[in-house]
A and B are shown apart, each in its own frame.
Chain A
Amino acid sequence: MYGGGYVFCEPDVHGQPDDPERLAEFEARIDRGEKIEPQDWMPYEYRRQLIRLIEQHAHSEIMGALPEGAWITRAPGFKRKLALIAKVQDEVGHAQLLYSAAETLGKSRADMVNDLLSGKSKYSNVFNYPAKTWADVTVIGFLIDAAAIVNQVANSKGSYGPYCRALERICYEESFHLKQGYDAFVALATGTKRQREMLQDAINRWYRPIIHFFGPPDNESVHSKQLMRWKVKMASNDEMRNQFLDAYVPKVLELGLTFPDPELRKDPQTGRWHYGDPDWAEFYRVINGDGPCNAERLSARRLAEENGRWIRQAIMNPQQKFTIPFA
């Protein structure tokens, strides 16, 4: 998991203009399908937006482990507990891979971690909602992971080498996450009346955050076009949302479960899914800090950071300095 719904920065009008000759060379390389490596020349805006994207993705992995991590102690049964521990460990491992990829662009890990802790950096909005019951954990493990995979598979075909390599490894590990989530989801869906009610309640609460997951509807801004040209953004928000709905809505409906949206349907002519107004104002409210769990998530992250400080300092070797990863 957990990439998706990235918020790119507004173009920096004060940035250095790029050398047109090198820019043309760079764009030709991307057009040929070649990857860009850390030592290559790259446009100012490309570097800036990629740092932002990969850093947000890394933070989402860390913060995304929190709602599920809280359920490890109460997972129903030994097998579910083992799977959940393994999954949460994988997610934190994904964050490490992604921080390394972002570092190759020149922002140090310590700066990224501090920007998360201070509340400056964003992460996927979906983790600012509570996992109230075990059914929520199954909805996250199945549907949110599925949504993240749609996004990550698209991004793994992007232009920046270190990010693509990290995503290949991540996508390989995600296949187990999705399967264990689906397994736990189906166990509730085919279980007792009480279990089905619990699952339906969780779907009802997660439906809107899931629609929000891929970000607001496409705007045909010049900015977004440039990011797609440079293969930073690989598919539009609406394209990815549609791909997700197409693959996963039927899997939920076939279990006799429903979505709390009377307008949700596929247009047989266009193949596009139509959904009711998901209140984009809420999306912006939550991403700007005012969601049900923003404070709680940040607090849990800060607690972990503080509790780990003494050991990081104890094993610190003051002679050694941070170096940018090689690839």
Chain B
Amino acid sequence: METADRHLLSTSVDPRLQRVQRHATEFHLLEQPEEWQTFEVFHQRRRGEHHVHVGSVHAPDAEMALVFAKEQFARRQQCASLWVVASAHIHSLGYQNEDMFATTTEKTYREASGYRLRHKIQAYKQSVQHESNS
């Protein structure tokens, strides 16, 4: 196995592997690898728009989270500003009460489209015109 590994790495086209003469058997797994905190990332495309949730990054603190968020979410797309917030700090209503958002009762009184005036004005204008003609 060892000889095979050495042979493999010396014939690899990968310059990083050519530089180091090591073989796979030297590697040891960490039993408890670093577990970083998770931060949710909010991205604002242009000034004036909302910050929109775009995903999460792992980082040891908020400062590093911003560095990673910039690499991850502002590398390709236009970006005016980024926020990060620790995932544990998010409070949510959750989906188990999803049905409470459903509009079951008539609620047009709180929507702009619930107030239609033009036909009344038209009817009024017509009646005034009719009177003046007669």
Known: A69-B14, A109-B58, A312-B34. 19 other contacts (CB 8 A): A37-B95, A39-B95, A66-B14, A73-B15, A90-B76, A93-B75, A100-B57, A166-B55, A169-B55, A299-B22, A302-B24, A303-B17, A303-B20, A309-B30, A317-B60, A321-B37, A322-B36, A325-B55, A326-B40
User: Does B33 lie within 8 Å of A110, measured CB to CB?
Assistant: yes
User: Does A324 lie within 8 Å of B8, measured CB to CB?
Assistant: no
User: Does A323 lie within 8 Å of B38, measured CB to CB?
Assistant: yes
Query: Which of A89, A299, A303, A321 has its CB near the most chain B CB atoms (within 10 A)?
Result: A299
Bitwise, A200-233 to B at CB < 8 A (1) or not (0) is 0000000000000000000000000000000000
Cα distance A96–B90 in the bound complex, in angstroms: 21
> How far does the Cβ of B112 sit from chain A's closest Cβ, in whole Å?
28
> How far does the Cβ of B1 sit from chain A's closest Cβ, in whole Å?
9
CB contact list, A273-327 vs B, under 8 A: 295-296, 298-300, 302-303, 305-306, 309, 312-313, 315-317, 320-327
**A165 CB contacts on chain B under 8 angstroms:** 55
User: Does A97 lie within 8 Å of B30, measured CB to CB?
Assistant: no
User: Which DSSP category, helix, strand, loop or mixed, fits chain B's interface?
Assistant: mixed
**B82 CB contacts on chain A under 8 angstroms:** none
Interface: B79 (CB within 8 A)? no
Interface: B46 (CB within 8 A)? no
Bitwise, A74-91 to B at CB < 8 A (1) or not (0) is 000000000000000110
**B92 CB contacts on chain A under 8 angstroms:** 39, 326
**A118 CB contacts on chain B under 8 angstroms:** 29
User: Does B40 lie within 8 Å of A110, measured CB to CB?
Assistant: no
Interface: A181 (CB within 8 A)? no
Interface: B16 (CB within 8 A)? yes
